[in-house]
Structure 1
């Protein structure tokens, strides 16, 4: 979030646009706003490596707040804007934030001051009068400060919390080097290769900025002098409309977004001029092969993939040509060496399935949780894992099978849900699918599919039987769902990750007889 010399060279270039309202900031305006808030943070007495938190929806002010933290040597935590008051308070307290910036749109923010005694100052965008006793209006608070840079700028960085798909969110803290903000961390110097960015690009950002991928992509857009168009929320038709309107060249999406775009009527897709697109990068969750192939068939070989995590412990990337030659891969390492280990942390041979570890990449700790940190790192500290399962082929390409916590063990056999989910979404009636293990008296667990239907299809026992039979024609029988349930919407985070613990909780105790 630090344009540096770009802002000096192109002060009148549009840096940020809010797609819903057309609101925008030039590079000069962005720099002035970020500098004013940076001065306020310094005046508050915050020192390098201190913590602040931002509880905000996608907005220009949110990007400005990140820019202020990134030039004052602070850890800034982006709190998921969909959380309840109690959930947001837990993260603010866990991160030891001393200043919090929020917005009037965040209804859950009103009760936070009573739950977060460690916060010294509460700032709110467009603060209503009734909250004047608890929050300062951000615009009024920064008005006395200059638009020039603070003295002795220092690189700050995001301290983000994982999505919590398998438990409570974890704060991911990386070491903060003592650098000028124009010198990003080595891992982020690789970001242009991940997103295929270039100077002067027009980047469409359809996802919540509190997640690591969207946050780093927006930061890269500013650092390279591009224009970033930010959506408040994703809508497939609106996405294509914005590509045409702004001449979008690049975007970062999640697989469910690609799926929703493909589900638009063909006449809608064909009616939009998307010829300016140079690169669409996807990540954060597995992409069904049928979806990826359809996108490449439609737009050409401009679909790129990355495998990474909030922990930024490594990066694996793949272009369209590589994927077509190695269907299903997420690519080869850009940063770090990928190893596949068994439960005893022995290296497995090529083609064998095990836990994915990355060696020689960046370090991290889970804030305030040494046990989780130790579980995800080797004793020597030179390898780390985030719990994914996969294998490598003879050419060194990585294939992800699932996550450790999602593996189904049925009759002593490991079953990986992602493989089944990819088959399910090929059925014409299935828009989205989740596969979980549910209790079984004899087998321990059995396979259950929970599916979201496409328009025009209705739940029925006959359709459930048809979907199971569809799987049997494509998978070994032991992998196929024994039952199919229907859901109006599957529980996914805003970045497309299935929150399977929500589904599992709903089926606890729902054992079926053998």
Structure 2
């Protein structure tokens, strides 16, 4: 081994080893870019000096409320200023951020509050009733509510709780951030429905959040001072880590409370947006926007899109409007995106629109910060890269979750064989590009939201007239996919489609509610297993 056999005196120390964390990006930005605009939220414009002070006050204010290192602070917020500040202020007081999907139903929010043991929750005034109902349903005390009003959006304070600005005012601008002593420390907790009705808590560490954020700088080929439009909800994989990314580049965050065509076009034209992310439904919405909601602009906007692959017809219309689209792929368990359909100009620049769109629909190759993404058979052997053989997408690297909170069995199963098992079925092309062909565990992705078919089925089975229910994805022009329910009724029972849909809506979030119900005997195997593949084919014709 030569001289490396003796490393006496070459130990880690404070000078040569610092745990990786995205918190360091904002601390640096406050010094390097103090007067650059860090965030635009409505009429509010914050410099990096302002942004850093606000996050510092938030950390201090939370500490004064009794939040200690390792505690959980939840949010029920759309993409507003407080949601972005929570991504730094919460971990800066040593706590773990739990950004909760604002579209969830009361029962699920109550479960998440209890399972994650949130001590405080920052709640937009529009969702105070949701938080109150969830806390009322819990056994014991729930989290302390801090209300985040938005007068400009028509959601003034209820005056029943401490307001966000009051929390900031209570904080010390000189508060010393609690930086991680170990980059394995938890930074965020995100809940995913997975394939069961019970949400699973996905735990992120500081190292993974840092590497994912920094790696996407390379994937997006970013230069200094990007202007990023926050369309991806910050409760989805922490906005794909993009909020943690921006301070590293001195970038500007443009908050997008309402995902609609007009505010998106306005932001691109008025603020010079250079980058944005979003599900294919966002692209579809913009393509079909009426002329009065559109704005002209003279630059190209780089777009990451994920979920169901965008339809080639949409890409063909969307890109000429001034956008360059890159399909990415990932899951909550891997901090958001881990593959990208990296464009090979030596092979594909000359292709016609339809051929380009077909290639852009692939999930692509491993991003720079992840160790390996591949497709294997049941023996964990690499499949043939022949565009035909299929297997399960496997992921390994530093941007894979720590595991599922309080669920070691599910964690062991997810990590069996030294890979994270995605549950997604794909082929690999000869150039190694991955393309999903099916979702092994029947997850429905509707407008970028994951829907568990098992959860919807379990709800439908509570209807007094339902004997069996199976839910599959039905293709939808607007949402990509929507839930379609196939229902067997009890002998002698009767029910109408509208009645079943209404019943489901009473118990589920709106986006999880079936949009079509078909009555009849369900196709089954000889052992009684429902043949979902046959139902999926039928759903395509409805």
Same fold (TM over 0.5): yes
Distance in structure 2 (CA, Å) of the matches to 1:194 and 1:510: 49
2:507 is the counterpart of 1:503: no
Distance in structure 1 (CA, Å) of the matches to 2:95 and 2:303: 31
Counterpart residue number, 2:405: 367
1:353 to 351, 376, 390: 390
1:354 shift after superposition: 1.9
2:62 to 28, 38, 41: 41
Normalised to the residue count of structure 1, the TM-score between the two structures is 0.73
Contact 1:52 1:100 in 2 (8 A): yes
Distance in structure 1 (CA, Å) of the matches to 2:237 and 2:220: 13
Distance in structure 2 (CA, Å) of the matches to 1:122 and 1:246: 33
1:268 shift after superposition: 5.7
Q: 1:229-250 deviations in whole A, cap 9, x for unaligned? A: 1111211233222211111111
Aligned length: 432
Distance in structure 2 (CA, Å) of the matches to 1:176 and 1:328: 31
Distance in structure 2 (CA, Å) of the matches to 1:162 and 1:195: 26
Counterpart residue number, 1:264: 289
Label 1:506 to 1:376 Cα distance change in 2 as closer, same or farther (>3 A): farther
Distance in structure 1 (CA, Å) of the matches to 2:441 and 2:209: 33
Label 1:431 to 1:96 Cα distance change in 2 as closer, same or farther (>3 A): closer
Label 1:431 to 1:283 Cα distance change in 2 as closer, same or farther (>3 A): closer
Counterpart residue number, 2:362: 329
Counterpart residue number, 1:10: 33
2:295 is the counterpart of 1:295: no
1:143 shift after superposition: 2.3
Counterpart residue number, 2:376: 341
Counterpart residue number, 1:92: 113
1:435 shift after superposition: 8.0
Distance in structure 1 (CA, Å) of the matches to 2:84 and 2:301: 24
Q: How does 1:33-182 map to 2 (within 5 A)?
A: 33-106=54-127, 107-114=129-136, 115=138, 117=140, 119=142, 121-126=144-149, 132=160, 135-150=161-176, 152-154=178-180, 157-162=187-192, 167-176=197-206
Q: 1:206-225 deviations in whole A, cap 9, x for unaligned? A: 23221126251122123321
Q: 1:67-87 deviations in whole A, cap 9, x for unaligned? A: 211323321100112233332
| Structure 1 residue runs of 4 or more that deviate by more than 6 Å after TM superposition | 127-130
Q: Counterpart of 1:303 in 2: which secondary structure?
A: strand
Distance in structure 1 (CA, Å) of the matches to 2:482 and 2:131: 33
Q: Counterpart of 2:334 in 1: which secondary structure?
A: coil
Q: Which runs of 5+ in 1 are unaligned?
A: 178-182, 409-416, 441-449, 451-486, 492-497
Counterpart residue number, 1:414: none
Q: Counterpart of 1:245 in 2: which secondary structure?
A: helix
Counterpart residue number, 1:376: 414
Q: Counterpart of 1:174 in 2: which secondary structure?
A: strand
> After the TM superposition, which of the residue ranges 339-348 and 230-239 deviates more from structure 2?
339-348
Q: Counterpart of 2:392 in 1: which secondary structure?
A: strand
2:186 is the counterpart of 1:186: no
Label 1:172 to 1:143 Cα distance change in 2 as closer, same or farther (>3 A): same
Counterpart residue number, 2:341: 318
1:192 shift after superposition: 1.4
Contact 1:284 1:309 in 2 (8 A): no
RMSD value, Cα:
3.8
Contact 2:123 2:148 in 1 (8 A): yes
2:429 to 388, 393, 396: 393
Contact 2:61 2:172 in 1 (8 A): no
2:278 to 253, 256, 260: 253
Q: Counterpart of 1:316 in 2: which secondary structure?
A: strand
2:327 to 283, 305, 308: 305
Label 1:43 to 1:333 Cα distance change in 2 as closer, same or farther (>3 A): same
Contact 1:31 1:147 in 2 (8 A): no
Q: Which runs of 5+ in 2 are unaligned?
A: 1-21, 151-155, 349-354, 445-471, 489-496, 525-533, 535-542
Distance in structure 1 (CA, Å) of the matches to 2:292 and 2:515: 37
Label 1:280 to 1:238 Cα distance change in 2 as closer, same or farther (>3 A): same
Counterpart residue number, 2:442: 406
Label 1:103 to 1:117 Cα distance change in 2 as closer, same or farther (>3 A): farther
Label 1:237 to 1:49 Cα distance change in 2 as closer, same or farther (>3 A): same
1:256 shift after superposition: 0.8
Label 1:244 to 1:374 Cα distance change in 2 as closer, same or farther (>3 A): same
Label 1:10 to 1:284 Cα distance change in 2 as closer, same or farther (>3 A): same
Counterpart residue number, 1:232: 257
Q: Counterpart of 1:12 in 2: which secondary structure?
A: coil
Q: Counterpart of 2:146 in 1: which secondary structure?
A: strand
Contact 2:329 2:340 in 1 (8 A): yes
Counterpart residue number, 2:463: none
1:333 shift after superposition: 0.9
